[in-house]
Amino acid sequence: MKSDAVRKGMQQAPHRSLFNALGMTEEEMKKPLVGIVSSYNEIVPGHMNLDKIVEAVKLGVAMAGGTPVVFPAIAVCDGIAMGHIGMKYSLVTRDLIADSTECMALAHQFDALVMVPNCDKNVPGLLMAAARVNVPTVFVSGGPMLAGHVGGRKRSLSSMFEAVGSYAAGTMTEEDVKEFENKVCPTCGSCSGMYTANSMNCLTEVLGMGLQGNGTIPAVYSERIKLAKHAGMKVMEMYEKNICPRDIMTEKAFLNALTVDMALGCSTNSMLHLPAIAHEAGVDLNMELVNAMSERTPNLCHLAPAGPTYMEDLNEAGGVYAVMNELAKKDLLNLDCITVTGKTVGENIKNCINRDPEVIRPIDQPYSQTGGIAVLKGNLAPDTAVVKRSAVAPEMLCHQGPARVFDCEEDAIAAIKGGKIVAGDVVVIRYEGPKGGPGMREMLNPTSAIAGMGLGSSVALITDGRFSGASRGASIGHVSPEAAVGGPIALVEEGDIISIDINNNALNVLISDEVLAERRKKWAPRAPKVTTGYLARYASLVTSGNRGAVLEIPKH
């Protein structure tokens, strides 16, 4: 056992004395030591129930012959952090979570791990840690929130942000907004649409690191407690078989994740997180693959914010495995990948039928023949930019309009809510990338304001920052290279005509190479916005969005 390093032999007598201080019995010290990474806290709605999930995991581990030991991981609520300095601290926690979990797991020599995440950066951060530590590991999340109900319709957090935009446009009263405020988030859990948290929890199933239902069983269902117990039992089976994360998270598994991402219409943030997780697993997941995957993968789901269905509906329709089974009908998946069930992908999904063709379209009747995400390139994004194509109004798939340029999110929001943005405009928000932000803030406030003002089908937004999974419309993010390192987005001027052609994966500013070159001569790097603390260290190490915003030691 790996934990022999801290529990076996005369040299380890001092270590055992500290285990005695924990109240651990000799019997417990003879069993595999299983770390349970608990993301429980009292500020994130998706994490307030994780204490119950953790207790269920502990029971499962103990029933299967392991000794469970809990330690914590942090998590930020993106919704609460949105629209102010707090959002600079969202993406950056992904690496803190990975680093701190690596430290705890290796310092204490755990034999196996069960990860208990739920929201946004928490899931990819723990997947990154799992790949680094590479001991038998199983994931079980806290589960999605149930949808709210307002006016007889299901609603979610994106509806709430858009309601604020509608109030600014004068189409909603304060009382209307108050009703949304009290009803759109009715339970604990990760917010109820196909936003980043639910995207990543679903993709954890696809990667093979979570059990069936991990992404879709609602947080308040008792079935979620059963799932947690089974996760605890399953990690002991993984330990006995010595199946580790790098055995599971192979190149083929990541290709499966990209494919299902396209079919589900996941958050564009998955295009940051999958490359970062792959990087830790020793897999090069080039973003150039995305359009090829999208070309061959039909979009089968229109979950909120792209459509009127929610995670609870996907769960009832058969969940992620049912989506995978549809894709398998056209040989779109690698079925021989091993998973934490101890079985292959093909064995897992074999009898998982689609119970609701309105929620999961059959493979021969998709929403579109191409996937939910597109990667764009052009003189405005020489490396890449990303858009959630499935959430773009058809009339905005091809658009040209004048640039309205802002050097921070706050200035853009003020202009949108002040009525200064009109139909046809292309809002450009720059210096919000991984280095420039620093921290690559999500732009849910401006996209929601645009939608709430009734401009969602006539105004585009382009940024070197990123978008919440709750954003919809022609929202193009992750523009790389970013403005802070002199990317072309830094050279755009007010009134330049920007051409967006999502069907042909193109993003260009309609000025000549000569004019761009002249502007570049005049451009100078800006002083860092933050010079102390974690954000300053992060900015000095982070790479661009097209590389997953991973941290890299500078080469001298």
Catalytic residues: 468
Q: What values do phi and psi take at 354, rounded to 5?
A: -85, 110
Task: Count Cα neighbours of 4 within 13 Å in the Cβ-side half-sphere.
Answer: 3
CA proximity to 127, closest of 289, 319, 118, 80? 118
- Residues 386 and 364: beta-carbon distance below 8 Å: no
**Pairing outcome for strands 137-139 and 112-116:** parallel
Q: Which runs of consecutive H residues, i.e. helices, occur in 148-269? A: 157-169, 174-183, 196-207, 222-241, 245-248, 251-264
Amino acid letter, residue 402: P
Six-digit token string for 389: 């194509």
Amino acid letter, residue 40: Y
Q: CA 7 to CA 114: how far, in whole Å?
A: 20
Burial of residue 437 (CB within 10 Å: 0-12, 13-18, 19+) is: buried
Q: CA 291 to CA 111: how far, in whole Å?
A: 39
Q: Is the dihedral of CA 22, 28, 30, 33 positive or negative?
A: negative
The residues near 350 (Cβ < 8 Å, ≥ 6 apart) are 325
Q: CA 404 to CA 37: how far, in whole Å?
A: 45
Residue with tokens 């299983």: 34
Q: Is the dihedral of CA 234, 239, 240, 243 positive or negative?
A: positive
Q: What values do phi and psi take at 525, rounded to 5?
A: -60, 145
Four-point Cα dihedral 56, 119, 271, 258, nearest 10: 30
CA proximity to 262, closest of 119, 389, 118? 389
Burial of residue 243 (CB within 10 Å: 0-12, 13-18, 19+) is: buried
Q: CA 257 to CA 48: how far, in whole Å?
A: 28
Greatest CA span in the chain, whole angstroms?
A: 75
CA proximity to 539, closest of 76, 95, 73, 84? 95
